[in-house]
Amino acid sequence: MDGERAQASGRVYRGLVAWVAWVGAIAGCSRGTPQATNGPDARAPAARPIDAAPSALAAIEPAEGATPVDGRGASEATSIATMKLLDPGQPPRRRLRYQWNVSQKERLAVELRTSASTEAGDGKQPEILLPPVHIDIAIDPESISADGDLHYGWAVRDATMTSDVLVPSQVADGMRAEVSAIDHLRGTATVTSRGITKAIWLDPSTVAEAGATGQMIEQVRQTLRDVAAPLPDEDVGRGARWQKHSLLDAKQTRITQTETFTLLEMAGNKASLDDVLAQTAPAQALRAPGMPYRSQARMESMLASGNAKIRVSLSQLVPQTKFDGTTTMVVSEQSASDTTRRLTMIMRIAIAIEGTTR
């Protein structure tokens, strides 16, 4: 391998963990955007990101009209989402709502598994498995409002990366830094009886920089924001379908996302859902975390698809979710010698969420 190719390959590996974490965060266990708040076609407020530094915003995603605790705005990541009922399903139909229990503590366990492969010109890097990441989050209900909103505290109790998968040292070091940055995160959140998160607060004193890009912090944020499956405003029955269309601007990368939910089964306070996700992005300048800003990189195209199986209990915040997705990106980069290289990155992501009472 010549010097320029070796250098380029190193840049790919350094950026790979950030890309995987970022795409996993966007996928958000297949629900990576804010939910609409007022029925079909309602506009959700702009998302407010957590910064990677200790000066992170103390409040993110406030309810409409609210302001961050520290009074600062945020422009790093925004999104607009609409929800639309496609089919009310078979009768009998009823309005689905969560029934929170303030005395019921829960545990949210997240298992993130990823693999990636790259192609550049005639060369092809074989698919590599990245070390699995496991995150445990404690959920402690604090109060329930008259409108049925649940306010709860959350805290990351454990965050680990297994070492039984051999990967390049750049990737392992990058992932280790991302995981260590979330080890002691904590804060509070508020979610409605439709499973729509109104606000998430983060205790900024618990954010550890540790050389990380903050992408695993974003993964925690996405997971908590979308942990409950969103429920339609209308009465629905078996076979009901509703769709969420989102426009995201995250890390200066624009993405269009569509999710279609199908109510497979409904019995008592339990339901099974299918969630099909698709994402596309136009050609644009690439500003992914972990990629050198001096490199003139462009994302020429991005296509992602995935499917989630969700088992919901209307008396519990955290469902049982399994998501599998694939993202293909074509990236071009101008080298120091003014030659343009094209790189195709294929990432496979598997996310499992398990909710239990404690």
The mean pLDDT value for 183-203 works out to 90
pTM: 0.74
- Rounded Cα distance, 136 and 245, in Å: 30
Q: Band of the pLDDT at 16, cuts 50, 70, 90?
A: very low
Given CA atoms 188, 193, 197, 198 in this order, what sign does their dihedral have? negative
For 59-73, b/e burial (b = at least 16 CB within 10 A) is bbbbeeeeebeeeee
The model's pLDDT over 283-326, given as tens digits with 9 standing for 90+, comes to 877 655 545 545 567 778 889 899 999 999 999 999 999 999 99
Contact 303, 296 (CB under 8 A): no
CA distances from 130 to 169, 174, 294, 347 (A): 11, 11, 27, 10
DSSP string, 339-352: -EEEEEEEEEEEEE
Contact 19, 299 (CB under 8 A): no
The mean pLDDT value for 25-44 works out to 36
Listed range (116-120, 277-281, 309-313, 321-325) with the worst mean pLDDT: 116-120
Residue 149 confidence (pLDDT) above 80? yes
The mean pLDDT value for 172-188 works out to 84
Reduced to 3 states, what is the DSSP secondary structure of residue 180? helix
Q: How many domains does the chain have?
A: 1
The mean pLDDT value for 133-146 works out to 96
Task: Point out which residues pair with 118 in neighbouring strands.
Answer: 125, 345
Residue 94 confidence (pLDDT) above 90? yes
Q: What pLDDT is stored for residue 295 in this prediction?
A: 54
The mean pLDDT value for 78-93 works out to 83
81 versus 141: the higher-pLDDT residue is 141
Q: Which domain holds residue 328?
A: 3-357
Q: What pLDDT is stored for residue 333 in this prediction?
A: 75
The mean pLDDT value for 210-238 works out to 82
Residue 109 confidence (pLDDT) above 90? yes
Beta strand pairing status for 197-202 and 186-191?
antiparallel
Residue 57 confidence (pLDDT) above 80? no
Listed range (41-50, 223-232, 257-266) with the worst mean pLDDT: 41-50
